Amino acid sequence: MTKKERNYFSRKRENLIKEFEINEPSSESDEELAMKIIEFSLQMERTRRGVTLGTADCNVVDSETMSQMKSWDTDDPNMSTIQKVFNRISNARGKEGVELLKNSIIAKDRAISDEQRRKADVPP
């Protein structure tokens, strides 16, 4: 990939991320959010591979991406939760995947708060 192509992909990726962040899912159901995560993932891979929506190449890339999301299996404990989220949302279990993601975020926030509270309670 040339520097020009890398820069193009980088700009395109940043725009997709900004668009995803701007459309905050305040009133969306977990199923709707799961569909947006899938569409975002497909768009990112289409952009990375330089294919256009609606083409035969796009259909192949989308199929490969969904297959990878369904079968992803990691041994990295830092990635295990997100792996399960992708596995679930790509296997028509979107609500379960989004619930897992939300619960993971809440658990990590609690752990950080508990640790900060513990440190604050320790005398200097």
pTM of the model as a whole: 0.75
- 67 contacts 60 by C-beta, under 8 angstroms: no
Q: CA–CA separation, 87 vs 66, rounded Å?
A: 9
- 102 contacts 81 by C-beta, under 8 angstroms: no
Encode the chain (124 residues) as per-residue pLDDT tens digits: 678 777 777 777 787 777 766 666 567 889 998 999 999 999 999 988 988 899 999 999 999 999 999 999 999 999 999 999 999 999 999 999 999 999 999 998 999 998 988 888 877 6
What's the chain's Rg over C-alpha atoms? 18
Paired tokens of 28: 């969306």
Backbone phi and psi for residue 79, each to the nearest 5 degrees, phi listed first: -110, -5
Write out the H or E segment, with its range, that includes residue 60.
helix 56-71
pLDDT at residue 68 in the model? 95
Residue with tokens 């796009």: 58
